[in-house]
Chain A
Amino acid sequence: MKEVVYLSELEKIARLSKLGFSAEELQSFLRDINDIVAHFEKLNQLDLQDVSPTSHLGGGEPPFFSDEPQAWEGSEEVLKGAPWVAGGYFIVPRIVDKEEKENEDRRI
């Protein structure tokens, strides 16, 4: 079956990505993404049942850090370059409404 991406779905994806689009842009993106998705159909010709996915390249055991703290000297520089800092904190618009509150609790 041919996959089709609908406008409502694209709008949801845009919200998840925190990207805003004009109606016109949405239409153009909808065409693009459907174009790509249509080309993707080609992969259905392949039998992928028993193929394991490659999520990473490189084998062997990855390196670990040993548990020894090391201070970094650049934090002030980061704060200096930040869009808005007060009292050493990065400042964001106040987080108040319930949705935000819930989001905060969802964290971890």
Chain B
Amino acid sequence: MTAQGGARDIVLEARGLVKRFGAFEAVRGVDFAIARGECFGFLGPNGAGKTSTMRMISAVSRPTEGSLTIFGLDPRTHGPAIRGRIGVVPQDDSLELELSVRLNIEIYGRYFDLPRRVLRERADELLEFARLTERANSKVDDLSGGMKRRLTIARALVNRPDLLILDEPTTGLDPQARHLLWERLYRLKREGVTLIITTHYMDEAEQLCDRLVVMDNGTIVAEGAPRELIERHSSREVIELRFGTDTPEQIRVALATHAERVEVLPDRVLLYVEDGDVALRAVHGSGLTPVSSLVRRSSLEDVFLRLTGRTLVD
């Protein structure tokens, strides 16, 4: 199926999208466009407006202002038609705990008006996909967190969606379960499903997303491919230095000459540099003696923290 959104096969387009709850403005005029087959990420600290945005692009919550088209349709007037082509993996699994794994998929499929015969076949396929075939008749309540998450993803695929929206799909999962999920998401992407994902794991965003936006305070503060964002907002490498208990001001001043940017944290100092090894030799050469040092490549996490700050948001 081709998207009807325009020449570039745009699946979803938002212009000046705003969501207000009373006086509170959760999303403050964001613009983005997502192409078919793309994996697009929304990053941002808690309260950045990600979930409100996700709910709008799931054609569930109505935008307060701005324009939003999904598959070329307006969700205000074509909500059911749009949702019929979307799969949603919510943050909380919202599974029916008292029912079996299989019935959770079948009941959900009924919401899309799929005939029971089709549902039985799809449930078999999806259980296989989610590696839950052997647990098909178990009560969901008895599953591990990772199994529930896989079931939630399987359930979201029951209508064979053109667009899959995942809100923090791997939060709370162990590394094995995360990697299994990533592998499944890659497979969907290869099949041409457009993926939209929010995550707090920067490695996950780097792994999965072709393009992403960083949101903060209801606005988009950066947009691009993960590598582009790192190049644009951080240096190539980072040196992490520890100096015992405190980092005196004179050390900070001394370090500033060796780096593009210095960030002093309570437990360590970060030097943003082009070549870590060269800069570290220079640090040692200038007489500074850190207790420990680590040279690493700049990551999306550095970009994220630079753009959204290190203040804890609850």
Whether A and B are associated in the same complex: the answer reads: no
Mark B residues whose CB is within 8 Å of A: none
Mark A residues whose CB is within 8 Å of B: none
